[in-house]
Amino acid sequence: MSYDVIILGGGPAGLTAGIYASRARLSTLLVEKAFPGGQLTMCENVENFPGYLGGPGMKLAETMREQAERFGMESRIAEVERVDLLGVEKVLYTADKEEIRGKTVILSLGAKPKRLGVPGEREFIGRGVSYCAVCDGAFFKDKRLAVVGGGDTAVEDSVFLTRYASSVHIVHRRDKFRAQRIIQERALANPVITVCWNSVVREIGGTDKVEHVILEDVFTRDQTLLSVDGVFILIGAEPNTKMVDGQVKLDEMGYILTDEHMRTNVPGVFAAGDVRHKPLRQIITACADGAVAAAAAEKYIEGSL
Ligand code: NAP
């Protein structure tokens, strides 16, 4: 069988594309390697999605999936290893040697956490180094933490981590946060949080688990040892576009280039959400992309776009 629309990736962009495509009576399959939700599942409290007064991201993702499935969207958990997007029929090849075929593909592949690339980071993953406060925060009850980054995630999650930790040091490479003002204000007013401005982590050290980080002042190059039990590296994300590189056009950072209809340079292939080159990566903008991509896929199948 050849689906009208195959959606690759089940974050808010993919789930919304699923709602719109299946509601338009297109045969729609969402392929996701784990449970749907993407980065949304790591969000402890979503409070800026219109109409949703606050609550876990997981719940919002679950509701979106249920809504799409009500309209007939199928979903499948599969590890896609390779894609062939260039032909008229699009083909996804899974690790189980299955071929999934469709007339159109919506790439909603999302992004993954960026690594710092310092000594100790890789060795201590799961032993003090984490990339997800919601996932691992509870393991650090009454512990001392460092959080690296100055964006919304780092600053907001630092406040979240004060539920557990006895101290949280935010290590930021500049003298100003990138985070939204309302998020900054909450962090700066929290007595458990200290900010190490103009500082970078040079090394993460310990024996069996994290025991300290070496901080370096970016101006003086002075190094200090900060004793901590955990390090949350929350410095942004990079797009999951390795699989489609060479088929769809990417920007210099690896994000997929689209037009306002979410069309990539390949006919019948659309992109939506954080994987796309865009100015604002939020749940609401991911959902909007998904809706536009599904509507464009419908028009493409009809031959009117
Ligand atoms: P981000 O906005 O890209 O911020 C990344 C932060 O990490 C920046 O402060 C950056 O420093 C720092 N950084 C990057 N690479 C680094 C490195 N190698 N070493 C040290 N520091 C480094 O990422 P994000 O905070 O994950 O946010 C991603 C998107 O999600 C944003 O659009 C954000 O608005 C959104 N978001 C929104 C909410 C909310 O609205 N409640 C919550 C979370 C995320 P510089 O500032 O110096 O570049």
Note the pLDDT tens digit of each residue in 232-287. 999 999 999 999 999 999 999 999 999 999 999 999 999 999 999 998 888 999 99
Give yes or no for residue 40 having a pLDDT over 90: no
pLDDT at 134: 84
Question: Which of 201, 217, 233 corresponds to the end of one domain?
Answer: 233
Closest-CA residue, ligand 1 atom 36, reads: 152
Please compute the mean of the pLDDT values over residues 108-122 and round it to a whole number. Answer: 95
CB of 164 closer than 8 Å to CB of 141: yes
Answer yes or no: do 136 and 176 share one domain.
yes
Written as six digits, the tokens of 84 are 């062939």
Closest ligand 1 atom, CA of 116? 18
- What are 250's strand-pairing partners? 256
Answer yes or no: do 21 and 68 share one domain.
yes
Written as six digits, the tokens of 80 are 């896609």
Written as six digits, the tokens of 86 are 């260039």
pLDDT at 231: 98
Candidate list 43, 132, 196, 287, residue with the active-site label: 132
pLDDT at 18: 98
User: Each residue of 135-187: pLDDT tens digit?
Assistant: 789 999 999 999 999 999 999 999 999 999 999 999 999 999 999 999 999 99
The pTM (predicted TM-score) of the whole model is 0.83
Say if residue 113 is exposed, middle or buried (CB neighbours under 10 Å; 0-12, 13-18, 19+). middle
Answer yes or no: do 247 and 227 share one domain.
no
Pocket test for ligand 1, best of 41, 42, 60, 152 (most atoms within 8 A of CB): 152
Answer yes or no: do 226 and 127 share one domain.
yes
Answer yes or no: do 70 and 147 share one domain.
no
Candidate list 43, 84, 96, 135, residue with the active-site label: 135
Answer yes or no: do 226 and 135 share one domain.
yes
Measure CA 221 to chain center: 33
How many CB atoms within 10 Å of residue 197?
15
Say if residue 97 is exposed, middle or buried (CB neighbours under 10 Å; 0-12, 13-18, 19+). exposed
Answer yes or no: do 156 and 202 share one domain.
yes
Question: Which of 233, 249, 277 corresponds to the end of one domain?
Answer: 233
| Cα distance between residue 123 and residue 113, in whole Å | 17
Higher pLDDT, 282 or 211: 211
Answer yes or no: do 120 and 101 share one domain.
no
How confident is residue 98, by pLDDT bands cut at 50, 70 and 90?
A: very high
pLDDT at 48: 87
What is the CA angle 239-136-39, rounded to 5?
Answer: 30
Residue 190 maps to which CATH number?
3.50.50.60
| Cα distance between residue 41 and residue 33, in whole Å | 14
Closest-CA residue, ligand 1 atom 4, reads: 151
Answer yes or no: do 147 and 39 share one domain.
no
- What are 74's strand-pairing partners? 29
Which has the closest alpha carbon to 260: 239, 291, 232, 237? 291
Give yes or no for residue 109 having a pLDDT over 80: yes
On average, the pLDDT of the chain sits at 96
Answer yes or no: do 172 and 95 share one domain.
no
How confident is residue 43, by pLDDT bands cut at 50, 70 and 90?
A: confident
Give yes or no for residue 73 having a pLDDT over 90: yes
Domain count across the chain: 2
Answer yes or no: do 108 and 165 share one domain.
no
Domain residues for 223?
A: 115-233
CB of 2 closer than 8 Å to CB of 92: no
Q: Catalytic annotation on 135?
A: yes
pLDDT at 214: 98
Question: Which of 218, 233, 248 corresponds to the end of one domain?
Answer: 233
Answer yes or no: do 74 and 169 share one domain.
no
CB of 234 closer than 8 Å to CB of 251: no
123 CA to middle of ligand 1, Å? 24
